[in-house]
Chains A and B, each alone.
Chain A
Amino acid sequence: MLLIRCPYCEEERPELEFRNAGEAHIARSANMAGESDDDFEKFFFIRSNPKGIIYERWRHMHGCARFFNAVRDTVTDKFVMTYKAGEPKPSKLPGVAK
Chain B
Amino acid sequence: MAKKIRSPQELLQFRKKVVALKEAAKTRIIVSGGTCCLAKGSKRIFELFREELDRQNIADGVELISSGCHGFCENEVIVVILPEEICYMRVRAEDVKEIVSRSIIKKEIIERLLYKDPLTGEQFIKEGEIPFYKHQSQIVFGNNRFIDPKNIEDYIARGGYEALVKALQTMTPEEVITEVKKANIRGRGGGGFPAGSKWETTRNAPNNPKYVVVNCDEGDPGAYMDRALMEGNPHSVLEGLIISGYAIGAREGFIYIRQEYPLATENTLHAINQAREYGFLGENILGSTFNFDVEVHRGAGAFVTGESSALMSAIEGRVGQPRPKYIRTAVSGIWGKPSNLNNVETLANVPLVINKGAEWYSSIGTENSKGTKIFSLVGSVNNTGLVEVPMGTTIREIVYDIGGGIPGGRHFKAVQIGGPSGGCIPKQFLDMPIDFDEFSKIGAMMGSGGMIVMDEGTCMVDVARYFLDFLSDESCGKCVPCREGLRQLRKILMRIVRGDGEEGDIVLLEELSEVISAASLCALGQTAANPVLTALKYFREEFLAHINEKRCPTRVCQGLVSYFIQPDRCQGCMACLKNCPVGAIDGGKGLVHVIIQDKCAKCGICFEVCPDRYRAVEKLSGEPVPVPPIPSDREISPRRVAR
The answer to whether A binds B is: no
The chain A residues found within 8 Å of chain B, CB to CB, are none
B positions within 8 Å CB-CB of A: none
